[in-house]
Amino acid sequence: MKLKKRVLIVTAKWPYATSSTDGGDSTTKEIIHSLKNEYYLDMLCFRNDIDEKAEIEGIKNLYFCYDDFAQFKNYQLHSEKKFLIRIAQAKIARREIGKIDQNYDFIVIQHVMFILDMAEDKELLNKVVLYPMFTGISYLKSGDKVPEIYINCEKRVLPLAKMIISPSKVEKHMLVEDYGVDEGKIMVVPRPVDYAFHLRKITQKKKIKLLYIASIRTQKCHMNAMKLIKTIINKGVDAELHCVGAVQDNIIFFECMDYLKKNALTHHVVFHGNKSHDQVETIMRNCDINISTSRWETFGRGVYEGMVCGLPTVVTNKLECVTKADNIGIYPCVVNSLDEMVNTIMDLFFDEKKYKAESEKGKKLSTILSVTKVDELIREKYKEVFNIWDTIKS
């Protein structure tokens, strides 16, 4: 009988709801869920807003480094400074991980920033499973200013990781072409979506209720969603937008609020902030159509969450991770402009046949992105790469 292998999870995210919850927190929860029954899991968490007595199901030992790395606090720095901060934080990460890494068979690291200072630690990186989350080039595509030194740091370390788990073929292509990562090291596994499918029908023709699941920051381009509502209303159709997600950039949030006030639209948009899984599901069931105006994504979690729940979904052609996801093979409505998005939304709302056809896509998608199926994919890859699947069950 062999002992369970020991795994250290390194993150600045938290698997339970906080004021900053976003896709990264969900990914942390998913990593723990995938591995907790097969491995001995510890976690090193870099943040200062969690009770030191907190517990996480599936985690044996929880360690905190109170140098707070929670990236959302830097999102509203509209300059290169937040990336220079991450380079400095990477030195702290290297120090703290180095204190305990010898105790583990491999290390799961959530976010490339944690390894930026490890280019000389090849032995350590050879047991790292990396979830890149968002690289510097992704930030560039999202509209952020990224210093060259940050991307150069990424280029030195990304090819050295033992394995990289990416949620899309688009991100994999970027890692290979722009960062020189051996494609054999990259496994494409979509994020699971833990919502139930419901075939939707339009029950009223008076008001279009739109949903946008996205943290408020530069990448998500909420101002375009505000303009979308204005255009629909100007066409003589009442509309309401429900925004679900943390306010990670107060500047953008207040710009949206000013726009709504100037255009007498404040009662047409609801900012829900962070909500629990069940609360999000309730909001989704009260909406008619899901949208995304994001500039760039590596997976598009909010897009797929709406679709799985049966909401017809409309996105721009900028979301290549969704529009080119042939490994998933189910696509939302794709448009080339805000005006086209307006027309598509109205066509769906007033055409029951089109609406039903788009809603039905969620049934098959809910199977493809089920927690069970994605867990199986991840576990098999760990088995293949580390050859340690001869573990005992709890």
pLDDT at 394: 36
pLDDT at 390: 43
Asked if 6-191+371-386 and 207-368 have one fold, the answer is: yes
Strand ordering across the sheet containing 289-292:
269-273, 238-244, 207-213, 289-292, 313-316, 333-335
Pairwise CA distance, residues 141 & 136, whole Å: 9
Cβ of 3: how many Cβ atoms within 10 Å?
Answer: 9
pLDDT at 391: 41
237: left (phi over 0), alpha (psi -120 to 50) or beta: beta
pLDDT at 356: 96
Half-sphere exposure of 272 (CA within 13 A, CB side): 22
Coil, helix or strand at residue 104? coil
pLDDT at 381: 80
| Whole-number Cα distances in Å, 300 to 192, 272, 276, 345 | 11, 19, 19, 19
pLDDT at 17: 67
User: What residues in the chain have per-residue pLDDT under 70?
Assistant: 1-3, 17-21, 70-79, 386-394
CATH T-level fold of 6-191+371-386: Rossmann fold (3.40.50)
Give domain 207-368's CATH number out of 3.40.50.150, 3.40.50.970, 3.40.50.2000, 3.40.50.300.
3.40.50.2000
State CA 40 to chain mean position distance: 26
Pairwise CA distance, residues 365 & 196, whole Å: 11
- The predicted model scores a pTM of 0.91
Pairwise CA distance, residues 384 & 388, whole Å: 8
pLDDT at 20: 60
Domain ranges of the chain: 6-191+371-386, 207-368
pLDDT at 367: 95
Pairwise CA distance, residues 359 & 381, whole Å: 32
- The 8-class DSSP code of residue 52 comes to T
pLDDT at 38: 87
pLDDT at 193: 93
State pLDDT tens for residues 86-133.
Answer: 999 999 999 999 999 999 999 999 999 999 999 999 999 999 999 999
Pairwise CA distance, residues 130 & 171, whole Å: 13
> What are the respective helix, strand and coil percentages of the chain, to the nearest 5?
45, 15, 40
